[in-house]
Structure 1
Amino acid sequence: MIIYNVTSNIDESIHEEWLKWMKEEHIPQVLGTGKFEKATLVKVLVEEDMGGVTYSVQYKIPSHEALDAYYKEDAPKLRGETLKKFADKVLSFRTELEIIDEYSVTFN
């Protein structure tokens, strides 16, 4: 299992608009490609020196081949829409992570 992680720093002037767009439009569009199993949106609690608000979206995808297909078939269009809508008010970087094992604790 692969996690495709997108971390974005959002200018405070568009923060609320961006967050609404992510929840209602962008994340559903990414999941709508049929390549990902799940998405988790989290807020980064560490304050950045550059200001703004930082979020991470972690998309779970079954294989690196499926992620490559996303890059080729879907990513250019979806990234283009983000740039067109928010231009230089959002700074993002992407990371690929491989899940080696998962653990959980059961509380009584």
Structure 2
Amino acid sequence: MYIYNVTINIDETVHEEWLTWMELHIPDVLNTGKFLSAKLTEVLVDEEMGGKTYSVQYTARSKEYLQAYYKEDADKLQIESLKKFGDKMLAFRTELKLIKEFYPTKLGN
């Protein structure tokens, strides 16, 4: 599996509006049919540049699904966020390949 990770720093002046918008945007990305699931996480660091930082991790079944997303959907969906938030947000994207998942053999208290 592949993880398409989008890390976003959002200006505090539009932070709440952005979080509300993400409740619609993430399902739009999932509804492309290219991803199995998504996780929205807050990055717990104080940014020198200010704002709040988040990571959205979309899980794709294969590299082919991820490539199809880039070819068929990414531009449109990224333009929507730029139109809405412009210079109030900064995003960068990375691809991760899942090698193996590990789980505890014993659960603690």
Smaller-chain TM-score bracket: over 0.9
Q: Between Structure 1 and Structure 2, how many residues are aligned?
A: 107
Q: How does 1:13-52 map to 2 (within 5 A)?
A: 13-23=13-23, 25-52=24-51
| Aligned-residue RMSD, C-alpha | 0.8
Instruction: Give the 3-state SS of the residue equivalent to 1:48 in structure 2.
Output: coil
Alignment match, 1:12: 12
Alignment match, 2:60: 61
Flag structure 1 segments of 5+ consecutive residues without an equivalent: none
Instruction: Give the 3-state SS of the residue equivalent to 2:69 in structure 1.
Output: helix
Deviation of the 1:107 alpha carbon: 1.1
Deviation of the 1:27 alpha carbon: 0.1
One-letter amino acid matched to 1:4: Y
Instruction: Give the 3-state SS of the residue equivalent to 2:101 in structure 1.
Output: coil
Range with bigger deviation, 8-17 or 98-107? 98-107
The alignment status of 1:71 with 2:66, answered yes or no, reads no
Instruction: Please give the TM-score of this superposition, normalised by the length of structure 2.
Output: 0.96
Aligned equivalents of 2:34, 2:63: Cα separation in 1: 11
Instruction: Please give the TM-score of this superposition, normalised by the length of structure 1.
Output: 0.96
Instruction: Give the 3-state SS of the residue equivalent to 2:33 in structure 1.
Output: coil
One-letter amino acid matched to 1:62: R
Deviation of the 1:32 alpha carbon: 0.4
Task: Give the 4+ runs in structure 1 shifted more than 2 A.
Answer: none
Q: Percent identity?
A: 64
Aligned equivalents of 1:104, 1:6: Cα separation in 2: 25
Aligned equivalents of 1:40, 1:90: Cα separation in 2: 19
Deviation of the 1:22 alpha carbon: 0.3
